[in-house]
Amino acid sequence: MSECLVNGKPENSVPADDRGLLYGDHLFETIAFVDGRAPLWPLHMARLTQDAGRLLLPAPDPELLAAECTRVAGSQPRCVVRLTLTRGSSGRAYQPPATPQPRRIIQRRAWPQRLAAQRQRGLKLHTSSVRLASSAQLAGIKHGNRLEQVLAAEYARRAGVDEAIMLDQRGRPLEAIAGNLVLIIDGQALTPQKRHAGVDGVGLQALGEWLRQAPQEATLEVDDLRQADEVMVINSVAGIRPVRMLDDRALAIGPVCRRWQRLWDELFECDD
Protein backbone atom coordinates (compact mmCIF):
# COMPACT_ATOMS: atom_id res chain seq x y z
CA MET A 1 0.00 0.00 0.00
CA SER A 2 1.57 3.26 -1.13
CA GLU A 3 1.64 6.16 1.33
CA CYS A 4 1.71 8.69 -1.49
CA LEU A 5 0.03 8.94 -4.87
CA VAL A 6 0.60 11.59 -7.54
CA ASN A 7 -2.16 11.60 -10.14
CA GLY A 8 -3.09 8.11 -9.00
CA LYS A 9 0.41 6.62 -9.32
CA PRO A 10 2.75 5.63 -6.47
CA GLU A 11 5.17 8.57 -6.37
CA ASN A 12 6.81 10.74 -3.71
CA SER A 13 7.87 13.71 -5.85
CA VAL A 14 6.48 16.23 -8.30
CA PRO A 15 8.09 18.03 -11.27
CA ALA A 16 10.19 21.06 -10.46
CA ASP A 17 7.85 23.27 -12.49
CA ASP A 18 4.73 22.39 -10.52
CA ARG A 19 2.93 25.65 -9.77
CA GLY A 20 2.09 24.52 -6.26
CA LEU A 21 5.81 24.28 -5.55
CA LEU A 22 6.73 27.48 -7.39
CA TYR A 23 3.95 29.80 -6.25
CA GLY A 24 1.92 28.04 -3.58
CA ASP A 25 -0.71 27.73 -6.32
CA HIS A 26 -2.68 24.93 -4.72
CA LEU A 27 -5.44 23.92 -2.36
CA PHE A 28 -5.28 21.23 0.29
CA GLU A 29 -7.47 19.28 2.68
CA THR A 30 -6.27 17.39 5.76
CA ILE A 31 -8.71 14.55 6.33
CA ALA A 32 -9.19 12.22 9.30
CA PHE A 33 -9.74 8.56 8.36
CA VAL A 34 -11.09 6.09 10.93
CA ASP A 35 -11.30 2.42 9.94
CA GLY A 36 -11.21 3.30 6.26
CA ARG A 37 -13.87 6.01 6.36
CA ALA A 38 -13.70 9.79 6.51
CA PRO A 39 -16.67 11.03 8.57
CA LEU A 40 -16.27 14.62 7.39
CA TRP A 41 -15.65 13.76 3.72
CA PRO A 42 -18.70 15.63 2.29
CA LEU A 43 -17.67 18.83 4.08
CA HIS A 44 -14.08 18.55 2.81
CA MET A 45 -15.28 18.03 -0.77
CA ALA A 46 -17.74 20.91 -0.57
CA ARG A 47 -14.99 23.27 0.59
CA LEU A 48 -12.49 21.99 -1.97
CA THR A 49 -14.99 22.42 -4.81
CA GLN A 50 -15.96 25.91 -3.68
CA ASP A 51 -12.34 27.01 -3.20
CA ALA A 52 -11.35 25.59 -6.60
CA GLY A 53 -14.00 27.78 -8.19
CA ARG A 54 -12.73 30.86 -6.37
CA LEU A 55 -9.16 30.16 -7.57
CA LEU A 56 -10.36 29.47 -11.14
CA LEU A 57 -9.27 25.83 -10.97
CA PRO A 58 -11.18 23.04 -12.73
CA ALA A 59 -13.67 21.38 -10.41
CA PRO A 60 -12.20 18.24 -8.81
CA ASP A 61 -13.75 14.80 -9.28
CA PRO A 62 -14.98 13.76 -5.80
CA GLU A 63 -15.35 10.08 -6.75
CA LEU A 64 -11.79 9.88 -8.07
CA LEU A 65 -10.43 11.67 -5.00
CA ALA A 66 -12.43 9.39 -2.70
CA ALA A 67 -11.02 6.29 -4.37
CA GLU A 68 -7.43 7.56 -4.17
CA CYS A 69 -7.70 8.77 -0.57
CA THR A 70 -9.29 5.50 0.55
CA ARG A 71 -6.55 3.58 -1.25
CA VAL A 72 -3.84 5.55 0.56
CA ALA A 73 -5.57 5.24 3.94
CA GLY A 74 -5.63 1.48 3.47
CA SER A 75 -6.40 -0.66 6.49
CA GLN A 76 -5.05 1.79 9.07
CA PRO A 77 -7.39 2.02 12.08
CA ARG A 78 -6.69 5.75 12.18
CA CYS A 79 -4.62 7.98 9.94
CA VAL A 80 -4.54 11.41 8.37
CA VAL A 81 -4.71 11.83 4.59
CA ARG A 82 -3.57 15.10 3.05
CA LEU A 83 -5.10 15.84 -0.34
CA THR A 84 -3.27 18.52 -2.34
CA LEU A 85 -4.63 19.88 -5.60
CA THR A 86 -2.15 22.03 -7.53
CA ARG A 87 -2.73 23.90 -10.79
CA GLY A 88 -0.16 21.56 -12.32
CA SER A 89 2.73 22.64 -14.50
CA SER A 90 3.09 25.06 -17.44
CA GLY A 91 2.12 28.69 -17.69
CA ARG A 92 4.41 31.70 -17.93
CA ALA A 93 5.73 32.86 -14.56
CA TYR A 94 2.72 34.09 -12.57
CA GLN A 95 0.47 33.74 -15.63
CA PRO A 96 -1.22 30.34 -15.31
CA PRO A 97 -1.88 28.10 -18.32
CA ALA A 98 -5.10 28.79 -20.21
CA THR A 99 -6.14 25.18 -19.73
CA PRO A 100 -4.66 23.95 -16.44
CA GLN A 101 -4.12 20.26 -15.79
CA PRO A 102 -4.40 19.96 -12.01
CA ARG A 103 -2.05 17.61 -10.19
CA ARG A 104 -3.42 15.44 -7.35
CA ILE A 105 -1.10 14.58 -4.48
CA ILE A 106 -2.44 12.19 -1.84
CA GLN A 107 -0.29 11.48 1.24
CA ARG A 108 -0.87 9.38 4.35
CA ARG A 109 0.35 10.54 7.74
CA ALA A 110 0.32 8.84 11.12
CA TRP A 111 -2.37 9.79 13.62
CA PRO A 112 -1.01 12.54 15.96
CA GLN A 113 0.41 10.87 19.06
CA ARG A 114 -0.27 13.72 21.50
CA LEU A 115 -3.83 14.32 20.41
CA ALA A 116 -5.60 12.34 23.14
CA ALA A 117 -3.59 14.06 25.88
CA GLN A 118 -4.24 17.50 24.40
CA ARG A 119 -7.97 16.85 24.20
CA GLN A 120 -8.05 15.76 27.82
CA ARG A 121 -5.58 18.14 29.50
CA GLY A 122 -5.83 21.13 27.20
CA LEU A 123 -3.44 23.32 25.23
CA LYS A 124 -0.98 25.98 26.25
CA LEU A 125 -1.18 28.99 23.91
CA HIS A 126 0.39 32.37 23.47
CA THR A 127 -0.62 35.32 21.32
CA SER A 128 1.57 35.24 18.23
CA SER A 129 3.49 38.27 17.02
CA VAL A 130 2.77 37.12 13.45
CA ARG A 131 -0.23 38.94 12.01
CA LEU A 132 -2.43 37.46 9.29
CA ALA A 133 -2.56 39.51 6.10
CA SER A 134 -5.94 40.78 4.95
CA SER A 135 -7.27 39.71 1.56
CA ALA A 136 -10.98 39.49 0.83
CA GLN A 137 -10.05 37.62 -2.37
CA LEU A 138 -8.45 34.75 -0.45
CA ALA A 139 -10.24 34.88 2.91
CA GLY A 140 -11.65 31.53 3.96
CA ILE A 141 -9.72 29.50 1.37
CA LYS A 142 -7.36 26.73 2.45
CA HIS A 143 -4.71 27.64 -0.13
CA GLY A 144 -1.03 26.78 -0.24
CA ASN A 145 0.39 30.10 1.01
CA ARG A 146 0.95 29.25 4.68
CA LEU A 147 4.17 31.15 5.51
CA GLU A 148 2.45 33.12 8.26
CA GLN A 149 1.45 29.86 9.94
CA VAL A 150 4.94 28.41 9.45
CA LEU A 151 6.52 31.40 11.19
CA ALA A 152 3.92 31.37 13.96
CA ALA A 153 4.52 27.66 14.54
CA GLU A 154 8.26 28.17 14.86
CA TYR A 155 7.81 31.04 17.32
CA ALA A 156 5.39 28.87 19.29
CA ARG A 157 7.91 26.03 19.41
CA ARG A 158 10.60 28.39 20.69
CA ALA A 159 8.20 29.72 23.31
CA GLY A 160 7.38 26.21 24.51
CA VAL A 161 3.64 26.40 23.77
CA ASP A 162 1.37 24.04 21.86
CA GLU A 163 -0.48 26.54 19.68
CA ALA A 164 -0.95 30.26 19.15
CA ILE A 165 -3.66 32.85 18.76
CA MET A 166 -3.18 34.67 15.48
CA LEU A 167 -4.40 38.25 15.12
CA ASP A 168 -5.44 40.12 12.02
CA GLN A 169 -3.89 43.38 10.86
CA ARG A 170 -6.12 45.33 13.25
CA GLY A 171 -4.98 43.29 16.23
CA ARG A 172 -8.18 41.26 16.53
CA PRO A 173 -8.09 37.52 17.32
CA LEU A 174 -8.88 35.50 14.21
CA GLU A 175 -7.85 31.86 14.55
CA ALA A 176 -5.19 29.49 15.85
CA ILE A 177 -2.27 28.32 13.72
CA ALA A 178 -4.06 25.12 12.74
CA GLY A 179 -7.64 25.55 13.82
CA ASN A 180 -10.57 27.85 14.41
CA LEU A 181 -11.27 29.53 17.73
CA VAL A 182 -14.42 29.31 19.80
CA LEU A 183 -14.92 31.42 22.93
CA ILE A 184 -17.61 30.88 25.55
CA ILE A 185 -18.58 34.25 27.04
CA ASP A 186 -21.54 34.47 29.42
CA GLY A 187 -22.81 31.16 28.12
CA GLN A 188 -22.66 32.20 24.44
CA ALA A 189 -20.43 30.45 21.91
CA LEU A 190 -18.62 32.94 19.64
CA THR A 191 -16.14 32.52 16.80
CA PRO A 192 -14.25 35.29 14.94
CA GLN A 193 -15.55 36.45 11.58
CA LYS A 194 -13.26 35.65 8.64
CA ARG A 195 -14.22 38.22 6.02
CA HIS A 196 -10.66 39.33 5.26
CA ALA A 197 -8.41 36.50 6.48
CA GLY A 198 -8.42 33.04 8.00
CA VAL A 199 -9.76 29.64 6.94
CA ASP A 200 -13.36 28.45 6.92
CA GLY A 201 -12.68 25.31 8.93
CA VAL A 202 -14.36 21.99 8.27
CA GLY A 203 -14.25 21.12 11.97
CA LEU A 204 -16.10 24.31 12.84
CA GLN A 205 -18.59 23.64 10.07
CA ALA A 206 -19.22 20.12 11.38
CA LEU A 207 -19.82 21.54 14.83
CA GLY A 208 -22.55 23.75 13.45
CA GLU A 209 -24.14 21.65 10.70
CA TRP A 210 -23.82 18.10 12.03
CA LEU A 211 -23.65 18.52 15.79
CA ARG A 212 -26.09 21.45 15.92
CA GLN A 213 -23.75 23.50 18.12
CA ALA A 214 -23.07 26.45 15.81
CA PRO A 215 -21.09 29.30 17.39
CA GLN A 216 -22.12 32.79 16.42
CA GLU A 217 -19.71 34.70 14.20
CA ALA A 218 -18.65 37.99 15.75
CA THR A 219 -16.00 40.69 15.55
CA LEU A 220 -13.93 39.84 18.60
CA GLU A 221 -11.28 41.85 20.40
CA VAL A 222 -8.30 40.79 22.52
CA ASP A 223 -10.28 41.78 25.61
CA ASP A 224 -12.81 39.06 24.72
CA LEU A 225 -10.07 36.47 25.15
CA ARG A 226 -9.51 37.74 28.67
CA GLN A 227 -13.21 37.63 29.48
CA ALA A 228 -13.90 34.17 28.03
CA ASP A 229 -14.90 31.41 30.42
CA GLU A 230 -13.72 28.77 27.95
CA VAL A 231 -11.51 28.92 24.85
CA MET A 232 -11.31 26.05 22.36
CA VAL A 233 -9.32 25.26 19.22
CA ILE A 234 -11.19 23.18 16.64
CA ASN A 235 -10.07 21.45 13.47
CA SER A 236 -11.21 18.46 11.46
CA VAL A 237 -8.48 16.08 12.65
CA ALA A 238 -7.85 17.14 16.25
CA GLY A 239 -11.50 17.79 16.95
CA ILE A 240 -12.19 20.02 19.95
CA ARG A 241 -9.25 20.88 22.19
CA PRO A 242 -9.64 23.13 25.24
CA VAL A 243 -7.17 25.88 26.09
CA ARG A 244 -5.82 25.59 29.65
CA MET A 245 -3.30 28.45 29.47
CA LEU A 246 -3.35 31.56 27.29
CA ASP A 247 -0.28 33.76 27.70
CA ASP A 248 -0.14 34.11 31.51
CA ARG A 249 -3.79 33.34 32.21
CA ALA A 250 -5.03 29.93 33.35
CA LEU A 251 -8.37 28.81 31.91
CA ALA A 252 -10.79 26.20 33.14
CA ILE A 253 -11.75 23.28 30.92
CA GLY A 254 -15.47 23.83 31.11
CA PRO A 255 -18.69 21.90 30.57
CA VAL A 256 -19.32 23.19 27.05
CA CYS A 257 -16.04 21.77 25.81
CA ARG A 258 -16.63 18.38 27.44
CA ARG A 259 -20.16 18.16 26.02
CA TRP A 260 -18.97 19.02 22.53
CA GLN A 261 -16.14 16.50 22.79
CA ARG A 262 -18.64 13.75 23.59
CA LEU A 263 -20.71 14.70 20.54
CA TRP A 264 -17.58 14.77 18.38
CA ASP A 265 -16.56 11.31 19.59
CA GLU A 266 -19.99 9.96 18.69
CA LEU A 267 -19.56 11.38 15.19
CA PHE A 268 -16.19 9.70 14.81
CA GLU A 269 -17.04 6.68 16.97
CA CYS A 270 -13.73 7.02 18.80
CA ASP A 271 -12.49 7.03 22.39
CA ASP A 272 -9.93 9.86 22.27
Kindly report the pTM of this predicted structure.
0.93
Write down the domain spans for the chain.
4-111, 116-268
Question: Mean pLDDT, to the nearest integer, of 261-272?
Answer: 80
The closest of 82, 101, 75 to 31, measured between CA atoms, is 82
Instruction: Look at residue 18 and tell me whether its pLDDT is greater than 90.
Output: yes
**Nearest CA-CA partner of 165 in 113, 109, 99, 228:** 228
Mean pLDDT for 208-226 is 91
Percent of the chain exceeding pLDDT 70 equals 98
CB neighbour class for 211 (10 Å; exposed up to 12, middle 13-18, buried from 19) = middle
Separation CA 26–CA 48 (nearest Å): 11
> If one looks up domain 116-268 in CATH, what number appears?
3.20.10.10
Confidence of residue 2 (pLDDT cuts 50, 70, 90): low
Q: What is the pLDDT of residues 172-195, one digit of tens each?
A: 999 999 999 999 999 999 999 998
| pLDDT value of position 168 | 95
| Percent of the chain with pLDDT strictly greater than 90 | 91
> Which of 259, 250, 251, 213 lies closest to 229, judged by CA?
251
The yes-or-no verdict on residue 270 having pLDDT over 70 is: no
Among 222, 214, 166, 213, residue whose Cα is nearest residue 194: 166
When pLDDT is cut at 50, 70 and 90, the band that residue 211 belongs to is confident
4-111 and 116-268 share one CATH topology?
A: no
Other residues' Cβ atoms within 10 Å of the Cβ of residue 260? 21
Pick the CATH number of 4-111 from 3.40.50.1970, 3.40.190.10, 3.30.470.10, 2.40.50.140: 3.30.470.10
Residue type, 89: S
